[in-house]
Structure 1
Amino acid sequence: MTMRLRTLLGDHPGTAALKNGTIRSDRVAFDFAEYSPTNKGFKPMVREQAFDVAEMAIVTYLMAKSFDKPMVLLPDVVLARFQHGHALHNVKRGRLAPADLAGKRVGIRSFTTTTGAWLRGILANDHGVDLDRIDWVTFEDAHVAEYRDTTRRAPTGKQIVQMLIDGELDAVLGEKADHPDLKPLFADVAGEEKAWFARHGVVPINHMVVVSRRLCDERPDIVREIHRLLAESARAASSAPRFTAQEMRRSLELITCYAAQQKLIPREYAADELFDDVTRPLLEGMPK
């Protein structure tokens, strides 16, 4: 009998074959929920366990784990990218570099976004920026309700990019824009990314896939089938993220380090701690 699963998956190269039915299974069927953007579905997954299978920002998962939310991580990456190009400033108001951020107003959609955590980690660890000296301005709550956000909230109705254009913010993290006055905070994005990768050997993971703990406990065979289908769908797309087991561990351990430094989670986790007895062997079975 086919098991139907409530599923949240965005449109990515590695999910296309699964979502369009090219890759299918006689054991599971996916009922795809429609959220645009996909990250709007993360909150109901964390707070209400709205899905059996869900795409999930890795920092949201780390925070959810720290509060024992009933979700289990699969070793399937659907979005990974270098982050340096997602920090902007307004050149019309003068050149700004990472070293100049102390005392500046920096906007970010939510303080707990994964791109924000990666960028703050890069700023602090690779550029010596004191994150506590930045005036953080946010626009949304965390997906994890228990997290206490102490940042300054932008006025109701304000838009992050427009505030940067209007001079109400000095820089923003986690955004891209084609406005002529807005340029990357890192002057040589490609050079910075290349040098960062040479230092760390890490491709930053943004989104992975989780399943409900109940599904993992009751039907580990179905969880293994979900992973098989996700992996097959990813292999069908040349531009899908590619990670060996060790590359995935390095990326996960670096973002847990950054998240702990930023007090998003109470401690660092080893990569293997992020999986359970059903999903950890799936990671171990990946190419080394």
Structure 2
Amino acid sequence: MADTILTDSVHIALGDYPITAPIKKNAAVETGGRFQFEDIVPITKAFKPMVRRGAYDISEMAIVTYVQARAYNKPIWLLPVALLARFQHRTIVCNSDYSRLRPKDLEGKTVGVRSYSQTTVMWARGILSAEYGVDLSKIDWVTFEDGHLAEYSAPSNARRAPEGRKVAEMLQAGEIDAGIMGNDLPKDDPRLITVIEDPKGDAGLGYRRNKVIPINHMVVASQDMIERRPDLVRQFFDMLVASKAAGNGTIEAGVDINPIGIDALRHSLETVIDHCLEQKLIDRRLSVDELFHDKTRELGT
């Protein structure tokens, strides 16, 4: 697709955040209409077509999906800017009508996750393992969707839920012991309580200890776009930098959620790779530098 559209326009899949809003609003004027933003809601629907068939020139991308794509040598490359991050301690929940679980109690239990390779789930599992000593191999993971990479299969301790079911629905019915949910966590069910007793306090303590920013989404560009029009990739990246500099970045609990540049991202990306390897999301250790094309590695420096 990229070969046919580069001469006229740049097709971009990008969600709505403080850092992206000015770009989507002003791009038509600043680029003479060259940057065309696809209307995709939720933005997660862009990830599978991007990794499987290069559907866009530039796209937002979940970081686990990208790390897996790099492991399978997909022709897309990372840009050094985080669009979305959040502290994930609050995403691990149980149903208090059936049990009040704490992290170590999850061993031997069933935990529902939308997809085994979902980025929110990767972070939550990493928290359970690194901060609470949970043996992830002793959890029976119940999944509801395939991952974005067709080549990837979840490990043997993950099984598929019955067709048509949802994590929240099965948790509310007491059919699974716990669930990991981000935006899909029901807000109106007081029975659903966090497994971590003080998620906000523990998230702050964890950050002060490890300085890891739990990145959910970054940005990728097609290899064809990078190699044929690196100037346009840089123009897009510079627009993100300018947006943040204008005060459109996000701060959560005093932490910069939109780090830019490899130096600012390196430690958090190393942690992503560590978790992905431990959780059998990839089968070899990647270096942070491997995540970037020569022409995107230099951005932000």
Q: TM-score, normalised by structure 1?
A: 0.93
**C-alpha deviation, 1:225, in angstroms:** 1.0
Identity of aligned residues (%): 44
The secondary structure found in structure 2 opposite 1:68 is coil
Query: Which of residues 236, 259, 264 in structure 2 aligns to 1:243?
Result: 259
CA contact (8 A) 1:18 1:24 kept: no
**C-alpha deviation, 1:29, in angstroms:** 2.5
Number of aligned residue pairs: 284
**C-alpha deviation, 1:8, in angstroms:** 0.6
Which residue matches 2:279?
A: 262
Query: What is the letter of the counterpart of residue 250 of structure 2?
Result: S
Q: Are positions 1:13 and 2:23 aligned together?
A: no
Structure 1 CA distance for aligned equivalents of residues 205 and 222 of structure 2: 38
Structure 2 CA distance for aligned equivalents of residues 238 and 138 of structure 1: 33
Residue deviations 1:260-279, cap 9 Å, x none? 11111122222222111101
Structure 2 CA distance for aligned equivalents of residues 80 and 255 of structure 1: 12
CA contact (8 A) 1:17 1:23 kept: no
Range 75-84 or range 169-178, more displaced? 169-178
Query: What is the letter of the counterpart of residue 200 of structure 1?
Result: N
Which residue matches 2:55?
A: 50
**Aligned 1:213-232 pairs, distance under 5 A:** 213-232=223-242
Runs in 1 of length 4+ with deviation above 4 angstroms?
Answer: none
Residue deviations 1:143-178, cap 9 Å, x none? 000001242111111121111110011111133322
Query: Which of residues 199, 220, 226 in structure 2 aligns to 1:210?
Result: 220
**C-alpha deviation, 1:254, in angstroms:** 0.4
Q: TM-score, normalised by structure 2?
A: 0.89
**C-alpha deviation, 1:3, in angstroms:** 4.9
**Aligned 1:122-271 pairs, distance under 5 A:** 122-150=127-155, 151-175=158-182, 176-178=185-187, 179-236=189-246, 237-239=248-250, 241-243=257-259, 245=261, 246-271=263-288
Structure 2 CA distance for aligned equivalents of residues 134 and 165 of structure 1: 19
The secondary structure found in structure 2 opposite 1:18 is helix
Query: What is the letter of the counterpart of residue 46 of structure 1?
Result: V
The secondary structure found in structure 2 opposite 1:183 is strand
Query: What is the letter of the counterpart of residue 53 of structure 2?
Result: E
Distance change >3 Å, CA 225–CA 168, structure 1 → 2: same
CA contact (8 A) 1:12 1:78 kept: yes
CA contact (8 A) 2:154 2:281 kept: no
CA contact (8 A) 1:5 1:28 kept: no
CA contact (8 A) 1:138 1:152 kept: yes
CA contact (8 A) 2:241 2:260 kept: no
CA contact (8 A) 1:23 1:229 kept: no
Distance change >3 Å, CA 68–CA 238, structure 1 → 2: closer
Query: What is the letter of the counterpart of residue 242 of structure 1?
Result: N
Distance change >3 Å, CA 141–CA 49, structure 1 → 2: same
**C-alpha deviation, 1:2, in angstroms:** 8.2
